[in-house]
Amino acid sequence: MFGNKAINPQKYFTIVTYGCQMNEHDSEKMTGILESMGYTWTDNKEEADLILYNTCCVRKHAEERVYGNIGMLKDLKQRKPDVILGVCGCMMQQKGVAQEMKKRFPFIDLIFGTFNLHNLPKLLEEVSEKKETVIEILDDQGRIYEDVPVKRKKGVSAWVTIMYGCNNFCSYCIVPYVRGRERSRHPDNIIKEVEKLGREGVKEIILLGQNVNSYGKDLEGKITFSRLLRKLDQIENIKRIRFMTSHPKDLSEDLILTIRDCQRVCNQLHLPIQSGSSNILKKMNRNYTREEYLNLVRRIRKEIPDIGLSTDIIVGFPGETDKDFSDTVDLIKQVKFDSAFMFAYSKRTGTPAARMGEQIDEETKKRRLEQLIKIQNAISKEKNMLLKNKTVEVLVEGLSKNNKNVLTGRTDTGKIVNFTSDVSLDKLYGKIVKVRITHPKSWSLTGEMISAQ
């Protein structure tokens, strides 16, 4: 299917990606496919023969950006009529969006969804033969295509998808509608991929899935996420294994012990709470209560006291009262997350929450969000202050974005550390070094390297 070099090698492409790591990784797959066809990546849209927009529909803001940015391509298409413009990703998988896209932007050449990335060579062939927009949105949720080439951005870390889709139907979330039901990759294929990445010099693996805790439930045999982690923990060359995302209702005791026991599995857990109010959690269809979540955190910290814990929180969910919101504030003060991704509720057409009464006005959402961010920032800073003058182990990833004389990396618990060193990056890249923390901040730590391992 791939590796067709018939296309002129001088052709250039670029992909604009919106949204989460899943989408970023899908773009890496499309890059792999296009390079196997002889295309070359360019950062310059003016130079590109093919421009793909890989869209996200999880939040309204991302959708609005997509519409705005695609509208701006009209001028480019008029000046360069031969450029192929394509739109793909989660947004296209929503009912009616592909047709709406075609109507609003008739100059788009290709529209496809999340289930048919592997068809990209065939779709591009159709574009060259047809005069009108080619649309292919599949509902093929059952298959996993293992032979898709992937071109990852060069780096210390690599994403590896272990499962696709989600069965949870949280009432605010569009993902199960656009990514389909849970499908787990066979463990042998995951292990082979991680072994290959290790041989290629990757040091850190980030396992991806909408809910990694239900990995394996759809497979024959006794494979679970914990068992998969224990197998991956044996792989030479890989220094660290992280994963996301974990649904609290499915986080097993076995997984807690696996994180505690496996040398390469990082002491880090992203455990979205979404709301601190049991009343709102019920409306969100999250299937756990505030008390159950707090108990789970106690269990985790008992086994892994230094775990780096992060979360996601939505404020202003339909029906959220001042009391519900203050329950969320109280919960974050109790748990003291290392960090949190906090959002105002965004209505997603087609989800149950979008049809709920008691929608919260924008002003209230904004006020609650600002209040929560302020409190969490203070907690993050307080937690990071505990590391002042302490020595942490950092996997060196590169140079700091803001200061090219400073190196950057992460702790085992997922904290970003920017540090000075007498040794140059090329000697430290991909190594674990010891850094003394001198200046903790809310979102990162600053320090100086003491020694390399």
Question: In whole angstroms, what is the distance from residue 423 CA to residue 436 CA?
Answer: 15
Please, what is the minimum distance in Å from the beta carbon of residue 290 to ligand SF4?
Answer: 17
Span from 88-96, 107-115, 163-171, 223-231 in contact with ligand SF4 (CB under 6 A) = 163-171
Nearest approach in angstroms of CB 271 to ligand SF4 is 12
Burial of 71 (0-12, 13-18, 19+ CB in 10 A): exposed
Residues 40-69 touching ligand SF4, rule: CB under 6 A, are none
Does residue number 341 form part of the binding site for ligand SF4 (CB under 6 A)? no
**Which of 176, 398 has the CB closer to ligand SF4?**
176
Question: Which element (helix H / strand E) includes 55?
Answer: strand 50-55
- Site residues for ligand SF4, 243-282, by CB under 6 A, read 247
Please confirm whether the linkage preceding 55 is cis (ω < 30° from 0).
Answer: no
Interface map 167-186 toward ligand SF4 (x if CB under 6 A): -xxx--x-xx----------
- Report if residue 210 touches ligand SF4, rule: CB under 6 A: yes
By CB under 6 A, the residues from 362 to 391 that bind ligand SF4 are: none
Q: Where are the alpha helices (DSSP H) in 46-117?
A: 60-71, 73-79, 97-104
Distance from C-alpha of 68 to C-alpha of 91, rounded to nearest angstrom: 14
Residues that contact ligand SF4, how many (by CB under 6 A):
10
The order of strands in the sheet holding 308-315 is 268-270, 308-315, 339-344
Q: How many residues does the chain have?
A: 453
Q: Is the CB of 14 or the CB of 211 nearer to ligand SF4?
A: 211
We find the least distance from the C-beta atom of residue 111 to ligand SF4, in angstroms, to be 23
Check binding of 211 to ligand SF4 (CB under 6 A). yes
Rounded to an integer, what distance in angstroms lies between the CA atom of residue 10 and that of residue 318?
A: 52
Shortest distance, CB of residue 173 to ligand SF4, whole angstroms? 3
**Residue 287: CB minimum distance to ligand SF4, A:** 10
Q: Based on CB atoms, which residue is closest to ligand SF4, 166 or 331?
A: 166
Judged by CB under 6 A, the stretch of 5-13, 66-74, 98-106, 162-170 that binds ligand SF4 is 162-170
Q: How far apart are CA 57 and CA 53, in angstroms?
A: 13
Burial per residue of 331-347, b for 16 or more beta-carbon CB atoms within 10 angstroms, e otherwise: bbeebebbbbebbbbbe
Q: How far is the CB of 168 from ligand SF4 (least distance, A)?
A: 4
Smallest distance, Å, CB 24 to ligand SF4? 16
Which of 101, 123, 166, 244: binder of ligand SF4 (CB under 6 A)? 166
What is the rounded distance in angstroms from the CA atom of residue 395 to the CA atom of residue 4? Answer: 38
- Whose CA is closest to 271, among 212, 222, 355? 212
Our CB check for ligand SF4 shows the closer of 117 and 166 to be 166
Q: Kindly report the number of other CB atoms within 10 A of residue 142's CB atom.
A: 9
Least separation, in Å, of the C-beta of 327 and ligand SF4?
20
List contacts with ligand SF4 (CB under 6 A).
166, 168-170, 173, 175-176, 210-211, 247
